[in-house]
């Protein structure tokens, strides 16, 4: 409408008044994505963030989740930036952990396992259920888990 605003104002307007699949929303995303959006630093990348862990960051005691959700967000710390890489190196071991491999989980989405469907795994015909049980012995970020899922 020609009014002057900022990225937050546009985000606020679109998220409260326009459906995600509306042409206005899609067009605005296409036009302003590179100006208004950035890939925020994630302390643990594909690992899990320990929400209870507390570390000393720049001389201040704070929770790992506070680094992730407040410090990185307020400072608009981008993935791959010097600050992100240094913080990752400093706090990864204290703040991040892996979980067992779940054959049917992709990102945050969990799918149903077709337990009795046959597959070839490690040169043998097995059921998806058998493969799933074998994968639970692996950690989610291991090469074996990632290769088996893809």
Which DSSP string corresponds to 8-74? Answer: HHHHHHHHHHS-TTSHHHHHHHHHHHHHH---B--TTTTSEE-TT-EEEETTEEEEHHHIIIIIHHH
**The pair of three-digit structure tokens given for residue 29, joined into one six-digit string:** 């995303």
What are the angstrom distances between the C-alpha of 36 and each of 13, 29, 32, 131?
Answer: 14, 9, 6, 43
Q: What is the pLDDT of residue 43?
A: 93
* pLDDT on residue 139: 93
Distances (CA, A) of 40 to 104, 116, 119: 27, 41, 38
Neighbour tally for 62: CB within 10 Å: 14
Residue with tokens 């990864």: 92
Work out the average pLDDT over 46-69.
93
Instruction: Supply the pLDDT for residue 8.
Output: 87
What per-residue confidence (pLDDT) applies to 123? Answer: 93
Over range 117-145, report the average pLDDT.
93
Span 83-104, average pLDDT:
94
Contact (Cβ atoms closer than 8 angstroms) between residue 101 and residue 60? no
Mean pLDDT on 31-41: 89
46 touches 141 (CB < 8 A): yes
């Amino acid at each position: 409408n020609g009014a002057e605003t900022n990225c937050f104002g546009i985000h606020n307007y679109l998220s409260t008044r326009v459906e995600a699949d509306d042409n206005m929303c899609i067009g605005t995303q296409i036009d302003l994505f590179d100006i208004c959006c950035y890939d925020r630093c994630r302390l643990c990348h594909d690992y899990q963030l320990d929400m209870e862990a507390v570390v000393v960051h720049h001389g201040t005691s704070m929770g790992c989740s506070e680094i992730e959700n407040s410090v990185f967000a307020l400072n608009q710390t981008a993935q791959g930036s010097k600050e992100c890489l240094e913080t990752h190196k400093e706090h990864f071991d204290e703040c991040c952990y892996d979980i067992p491999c779940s054959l049917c989980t992709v990102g945050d989405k969990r799918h149903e396992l077709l337990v009795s469907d046959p597959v070839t795994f490690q040169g043998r015909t097995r059921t998806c259920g058998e493969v799933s049980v074998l994968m639970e012995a692996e950690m989610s970020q291991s090469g074996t888990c990632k290769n088996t899922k893809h």
